[in-house]
């Protein structure tokens, strides 16, 4: 296995970490106005992600930085070609982050309501656009001989891309509902469990259609195996949700997202950005990579610091593992 393949795999793992962890954050944010029927319930929902949501976003920064360092040609083509879509995604993340941080700074109902709407929209937009972006990367986009993207935003909004966006959106909503069932108590927990099952049925249909379409146009033996495992883990997650084993249900939805991401990356390999204009113009792990010297240094840094980051984040989740209760309405001012 060469260094290019190793770093392709490492970048895939970074995206797995980001989408699994940020996925339930997005789900909670989208469901804030759906499940949160009162101010105490909405506060409880935000408290479930309060200690971890900003730490979860670090994964996307590391994934972007690793892509820039390991595959600069991929990074340049991707971020220049998908500029407008990624800009909209970034705006959504900023709006969401600001709303979460400033929501409780004022004791004003209208202020909180506006922040809640901003959190919901700021979670919805990235949850949709990440799927659109990944679907287009796998399917291929117009790239010319100079490794430049020749399409526009409407090029990305094709049926397959939109189906990919809908798939990630529904997966994150289901993941978030399962997480709320795991982290809350009482009526909020019961409603989250019921919603997870209802949304999960729709998610299963959409996800199967998306994975089948993916395998029909770009597949490998490994991607087929991961696609089957994805379906199996989601069935297991919903089964655990029915019998109220929220911990296993959450592991199941997390595994579903992880396996779905691995399905896309294994279907993509050895390309990193296929060209729909001419396969000869496609970016691969070899013609888009940095030098072996750069990759060797990066590998040493990753070996040292990755375990430290994983231990720290694992410790954070362990410290804040308790369920969040909804206080009585009477205690609210």
Q: What b-and-e string marks burial along 133-158, b requiring 16 or more CB atoms within 10 Å of the CB?
A: bbbbbbbbbbbeeebebebeeebbeb
Crossing angle (nearest 10°) for helices 3-30 and 39-49: 170
Q: CA dihedral in degrees (90, 95, 96, 99; nearest 10)?
A: 160
Nearest alpha carbon to residue 262 among 207, 216, 224: 224
* Residue ranges of domains in the chain: 3-321
Over residues 130-156, the pLDDT tens digits come to: 999 999 999 999 999 988 899 888 899
Distance, in Å, from the CA atom of 286 to the CA atom of 277, rounded to the nearest integer, reads 19
Query: 3-321 has which CATH code?
Result: 1.20.1630
Q: How far is CA 163 from CA 3, 48, 52, 208, 245, in A?
A: 33, 29, 29, 11, 30
User: For residue 333, is pLDDT > 50?
Assistant: no
- Model confidence band, residue 111 (pLDDT cutoffs 50, 70, 90): very high
Tell me what the pLDDT averaged over the chain comes to.
92
Strand-pair partners of 271: 284
- Model confidence band, residue 50 (pLDDT cutoffs 50, 70, 90): confident
Over residues 267-287, the pLDDT tens digits come to: 999 999 999 999 999 999 999
| All residues at 6 or more sequence positions from 98 whose CB lies less than 8 Å from its CB, including other chains | 118
Report the chain's terminal Cα–Cα distance, integer Å: 61
3-state secondary structure of 184: strand
């Amino acid at each position: 296995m060469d260094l290019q393949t190793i770093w392709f795999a490492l970048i895939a793992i970074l995206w797995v970490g980001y989408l699994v962890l940020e996925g339930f954050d997005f789900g909670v944010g989208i469901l804030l106005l759906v499940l949160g029927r009162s101010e105490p319930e909405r506060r409880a929902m935000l408290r479930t992600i309060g200690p971890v949501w900003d730490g979860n976003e670090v994964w996307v920064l590391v994934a972007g930085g690793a892509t820039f360092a390991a595959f600069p040609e991929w990074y340049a083509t991707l971020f220049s070609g998908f500029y407008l879509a990624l800009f909209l995604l970034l705006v959504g993340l900023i709006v969401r982050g600001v709303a979460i941080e400033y929501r409780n700074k004022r004791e004003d109902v209208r202020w909180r309501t506006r922040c809640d709407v901003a959190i919901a929209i700021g979670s919805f937009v990235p949850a949709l656009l990440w799927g659109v972006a990944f679907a287009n990367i796998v399917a291929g986009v117009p790239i010319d001989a100079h490794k430049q993207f020749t399409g526009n935003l409407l090029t990305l909004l094709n049926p397959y891309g939109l189906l990919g966006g809908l798939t990630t959106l529904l997966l994150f909503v289901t993941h978030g509902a399962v997480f709320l069932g795991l982290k809350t108590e009482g009526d909020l927990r019961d409603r989250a469990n019921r919603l997870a099952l209802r949304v999960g049925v729709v998610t299963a249909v959409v996800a199967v259609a998306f994975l089948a379409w993916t395998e029909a146009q770009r597949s490998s033996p490994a991607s087929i195996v991961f696609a089957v495992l994805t379906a199996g883990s989601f069935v297991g997650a919903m089964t655990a949700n029915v019998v109220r084993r929220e911990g296993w249900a959450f592991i199941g939805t997390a595994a579903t997202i992880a396996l779905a991401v691995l399905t896309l990356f294994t279907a993509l390999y050895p390309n990193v950005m296929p060209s729909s204009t001419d396969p000869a113009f496609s970016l691969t792990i070899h013609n888009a990579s940095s030098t072996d010297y750069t990759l060797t240094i990066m590998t040493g840094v990753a070996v040292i610091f990755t375990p430290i980051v994983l231990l720290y984040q694992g410790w954070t989740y362990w410290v804040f593992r308790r369920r969040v209760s909804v206080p009585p309405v009477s205690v609210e001012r």
